[in-house]
Amino acid sequence: MVDDKKNTAINTTLKKARERAGISMADAATHVGVTTASFSRMETGEAQVTANRLVTLATYYGLSVAGLLDGEFAKEPSSMDMKRVHAIILFVHDAIRLLRIKPSPEKIADLVTEIYQREIDAALQSSSRSTDFDPSVHNDFVLNYLKR
């Protein structure tokens, strides 16, 4: 017997993940080899989703299967994300040298994490924001953080 609440939750999550990935229902249906009508039934809970299709959709949406099932839509880091983190680390390193201080590794890690979160938040709020890391946006924050 199928747990209807769990089936509905999975299907709702499937729709949210597809929409967040910016993929049309027709494209997702084609990718898994079903009609758009059949795919719609999977997203509305009228039809079950096979394990193979879950794997295919998670990969197509850039998510892990566990993430897709749990509704955790964090994607694998892209090369742009990795370059941004690299730039943030170098920026923090330069600020530390400039201030001639020796913060703890935990403080450095917290600072890098905070800057990266600010970058993500800014990117989500503005589609026109440049994809390049701009350290000048964070100068005052970093200097004040390191001086605490």
Average pLDDT, the chain: 84
Q: Which residue has the higher pLDDT, 10 or 35?
A: 35
- What is the per-residue pLDDT for 4? 46
Task: Give every CB contact of residue 123 below 8 A, 6+ residues apart in sequence.
Answer: 129, 131
Q: At residue 5, does pLDDT exceed 50?
A: no
Reported as a single tens digit per residue, the pLDDT across 62-80 is 887 877 777 776 655 666 6
- Indicate the domain borders of the chain: 4-70, 79-147
Q: At residue 129, does pLDDT exceed 80?
A: no
Q: Which fold has domain 4-70?
A: 434 Repressor (Amino-terminal Domain) (1.10.260)
Q: Are 36 and 12 in contact (CB under 8 A)?
A: no
| Whether the predicted model's global pTM rises above the 0.75 cut | no
Residue 108 amino acid letter: I
Per-residue pLDDT band for 12 (boundaries 50, 70, 90) equals confident
